[in-house]
Structure 1
Amino acid sequence: MRALGTGLVVLGLALPLGGCGQDRFEAYCERVEEHQVALTEAVAQGGPDALLDVLPRLQELSEAAPRDVADEWQQVVGRLEALERALEDAGVDPADYDRAAPPEDLADDERAAIDGAARELVRPTTLGALQAVETQVRDVCGTPLYQ
């Protein structure tokens, strides 16, 4: 999980966004600005659960995303949702989970599900989707998603 947190911070939730000039992107950019502080704090906090803490905000941004980047947003959010689901199904608190020393009562299949979801989150497909979102939101809104 530490590698996941590190990978996501390196990925950078670097989804810079900013001040929209086109009407069709206005709601999207407004949502970005609404969530900017919380996302900035999550990135600064780091850790394996930082992005899971702001998942509802990322879901809102995904829902508001323009069509040209909706698939990329869904890739990123979908991978976070899968990790959250695997942790919840296993009854594991993401803040306390240590892959090197998992809870003694964690079943092998639960551990495999958590590990698999974490790996999917940092695969090139997801990282590429995150980079595409970063580029698109910077171009469309002109303000960073986090500072």
Structure 2
Amino acid sequence: MRRLPVGLLVLGLVVPLAACGQDRFEAYCERVEEHQVALTEAVAEGGPDALLGVLPRLQEISEAAPRDVTDEWQQVVGRLEALEAALEDAGVDAADYDRAEPPAGLADADRAAIDGAARELVRPTTVAALQSVETQVRDVCGTPLYQ
């Protein structure tokens, strides 16, 4: 039986792994580019429901994210999902919700849940996670998450 040099064995293992990693970044960057216009429009539009309107797109990008930023993506997407759930549970449309003048008949518990979810979305940990995601997208994909 002929023995292969260790270097060839290592190379034989590393090259396929690197290709898999490249495919992972490729899929991630494709998702970013696919949703970049919608994200840019949502950010430009602003408003209380702007990011909730693109939540499915953010979820898709998050699902394709490389492992080194999955925690950050989960922080951002998770906080948006929590706000969306609080609004849905209360039967309130995000576009119409005004904290200063909540809808008539909104239960105190529902208002507290919405307010709590909104506070979590703007906490420093979530803001830092979003900044990390934006930086990582720019570094890995060579384009911003939104323009």
TM-score exceeds 0.5? yes
* Cα deviation, residue 78, structure 1: 0.1
Pairing of 1:42-57 with structure 2 (within 5 A):
42-57=42-57
* Cα deviation, residue 144, structure 1: 1.3
Is 1:132 equivalent to 2:140 in the alignment?
no
**For 2:38 and 2:92, how far apart are their aligned partners in 1?**
24
**For 2:27 and 2:121, how far apart are their aligned partners in 1?**
27
**For 2:24 and 2:60, how far apart are their aligned partners in 1?**
16
**Which consecutive residues of structure 1, in runs of 5 or more, have no partner in the other structure?**
1-21
Matched with 1:4 is: none
Amino acid at match of 2:51: L
Q: So what's the TM-score if we normalise by structure 1? A: 0.84
**For 2:117 and 2:97, how far apart are their aligned partners in 1?**
14
**Higher share of residues assigned helix:** 2
Amino acid at match of 2:65: A
**For 2:126 and 2:145, how far apart are their aligned partners in 1?**
18
Q: Which deviations, in whole Å up to 9, do the C-alpha atoms of 1:61-116 show, x marking residues without a partner?
A: 11000000001000000000000000000000000000000011100000000000
Pairing of 1:48-127 with structure 2 (within 5 A):
48-127=48-127
Q: Which deviations, in whole Å up to 9, do the C-alpha atoms of 1:115-143 show, x marking residues without a partner?
A: 00000000011011111111111110011
8 A contact 2:24–2:64 mirrored in 1: no
Matched with 2:35 is: 35
**For 1:40 and 1:126, how far apart are their aligned partners in 2?**
19
Secondary structure at the counterpart of residue 115 of structure 2: helix
* Cα deviation, residue 24, structure 1: 2.8
**Which consecutive residues of structure 2, in runs of 5 or more, have no partner in the other structure?**
1-21
Identical-residue share of aligned pairs (%): 89
Matched with 2:23 is: 23
Q: 1 or 2 for the larger relative contact order (CA 8 Å, sep ≥6)?
A: 1
Amino acid at match of 1:137: V
- Structure of larger gyration radius: 2
Q: So what's the TM-score if we normalise by structure 2? A: 0.84
* Cα deviation, residue 30, structure 1: 0.4
Amino acid at match of 1:44: A
